[in-house]
Structure formats: C-alpha cells, structure tokens
A and B are shown apart, each in its own frame.
Chain A
Amino acid sequence: MSHTDTNDGKIAHAHDPRYGINIMIWITLLSLTVITIAVAGIDLGNYTLLVAMFIAAIKSAFVINYFMHIKFEDLLFKLFLVGVILVLLVVFVLTGFDVFLR
C-alpha cells in the first residue's frame, strides 16, 4: 500500500497515489478500445478472435495493475492472481482441446 501517516501529520507516499498516471491509463484504455473496434472491421480470418482477446488481455493488465493496484500490493496478492489465471488457463486449454480436436 502506498500511503503512510507519519507522526507529524504529513503524508508520505511510498508510491505517491497520483492523478496523472491513472488518467494516462484511462486514455490508453480508451485508445485500445478504439483499436479493438477498428481491428474488428478488418478481416483477419481465424486470427480475429485471437487479436481481440490479445487487446482485451492488455487492457485487463492495465486495469488490474494500476486501477486495482495489484502492482503495488504484496507478493501474496500477485501469487493468488497468478494462481487464478493459471486455473482459468488450464480449464480453457483443456476444454479447447476437447472442443477443437474432437
């Protein structure tokens, strides 16, 4: 966590919670949304879904790291998150094998 109160009442910030960086993230997210819509208009064949999901993954990474603050949390939070992503990945890949290669 970024915020600590010092005894004299001043606020010290290990990671100063700034407005600027979050506004930058927001602009990035909006730009990526525009890119997603633009790319969807181009016929990329089988890669359409892949590209759309790739951009969505980048957007999620920004939201999780900055808006949800995971980047500045303890290792434990990050390990849990990696664990959940791995579980989802395994479930999707194994189901994918069943569905696509049947």
Chain B
Amino acid sequence: MAESIKIATRESFGKALCELAKEHDDIVVLDADLAAATKTEIFKKAYPDRFFDCGIAEGNMIGVAAGLAAAGKVPFAASFAMFATGRAYEQVRNSVGYPRLNVKIAGSHAGISVGEDGATHQCCEDIALMRTIPGMVILNPADHYEMIEAVKAAYEYNGPVYIRLGRLAIDSFNDPDNYSFEIGKGIMLEDGDDCTVIATGLVVYEALKAVRELKEKGINARLINVHTIKPIDKDIIIKAAKETGKIITVEEHNVIGGLGEAVAAVTAENCPVPVYRIGVEDTFGHSGPALGLLAEFGLDKDGIAGKISELMKK
C-alpha cells in the first residue's frame, strides 16, 4: 500500500488535468478568476495556451464551455461550487445539460469545510442542484487517488459531468495499486452486517475511521464509498439494504437533495429499510476553522461514530 498523503482534492484535480493534457490536445481549461483557489493554476502554468480565464463571470464561462464543446473541445470549467452550480445553474441546465454537451464542471470549496469564508461560500446545495439536471453525472471523490482517476473517467465519458472538489487537505486512504474507478460503481471499504454506512466525498475517510472504531465496540457496520452520486449504484445499495437492514448516509451537504435522498429513493422503491441521513441539517454554515466546523456539524470521526451508535439503538 502506497503511503498516505495529505492533499486537498482541488489540488489533486489540478494535477490530474496536467497529466491528462499531456496526452489529450482537446482538453481546454476555463476558470472564473479563482485559478489559484481551484488549482487550475497548475494547468495554467503548464499549458498557458489552453487555459482561459473568464473573469468573474461564471454564467458566461459555462456558456463558453458549451460552445467549445459544441466545436469539439473537452472543456473543464472550474469555479467555487457555489458559483459553478448556483450562480450558473441555469446556464448549466440550458447550455450544457439540455444539449448534452461534453462539458466538465468542477466545483471547488464545496461544503462547510471551506472554513473561514463562511456561509456565502460554503456550498451545501451543489449536489442537489446538479442532480435535477437530466443526464448530469455527479462525481464526488474522497481522496487524492480517487480524484486522479475520477478526472480521467470524466474525460473519457462523453457528456456533462460535475466534479466536486474540496478545499481542505485530507489524508488519502485508497491504495493506488489496488484501486479502480468506474463511474456509477460504489466501493465497499468495510464489510459488515449490522448496518451499512454510505458516505461520499471528503467525509468518507472520517466515516471509515468511525466504522473501524465501532467494530472494536461491537458494531459491525458495512461501509460503502459512493463517489458517483448520479448515476447512483443501485445494486450495491439494494444489496446492502437486504443484507444489513439499515442504512446511514454521510455527506458534507444539505441532507435535502444530496446523497441521503438519492439512497433513500433507491431503497424506498426496491427494498424499504430505514435510511438515516447524517449531513448538514438544512442550515447555513458559518465562519470558523474547517476542522472545527466539521466537528461542530458532526461530520468528523467522533461525530459520525456517535451518531451511528445512537441510530443503532433505534
């Protein structure tokens, strides 16, 4: 197993773009004056001729990306999740989603772990917004190695993709030598039969630590990493519902419209079992250090473990 490295998935994204661009001339990168933050600056330095800053104008950026895709390029358009999916929602819907253009949208600084910038920049609605657009693929990688593979998969897939990026540096836990990424396929990280924890993105590693800790306390939970929220892996969810009878979802997103509801829709229609959602409880975030906020919102290892223990008593 390769050594764990601590790196924000936004940085992994920037590096992945550079690697891909070596082999693929059709990759073009757009940003809206946030290249230093979304880490597209890594690409910008390596490939200045294929990088276009659109200025603080996210709606136009998405439209330009649509035009580039219509003309045969593969544009990656990056901004903060709040602006890429919120400010530019309608451009994503009408200029990218409806014509099903081959545009990759990267939303950085997703979730409350943005930290000190506070509520206006802590986007906990991006997954909900993107889920409503027909045909949109939503990827939410959980660590460095997963992000590298997700960016490759997004490039290889012909159609619109939203990729969620985090600001906070996090430990990697996947083993790159024994890892494969497939759009729409969840990954079981721990087996168990008392319940199934389904997590996505930045909080997967926190959930992993929580599940491992609980095993020592006699709760034998299964853990599934759902890196693709749409299309969601129905098979792995139905199997988990049948075999463990209880599901707990964990996401750094509003419990409305995110992973939890996507999972609940699958179980409700195929194998009804209780689904409990751990996430941001329909509230706005606020300023503070990222780790402190994750703890406050119950999305760190201790918070997740505590909530699972509590739910197992139900």
Decide whether A and B are members of one complex.
no
Which positions in A face B, CB cutoff 8 Å? none
Q: Which residues of B contact A (CB under 8 A)?
A: none
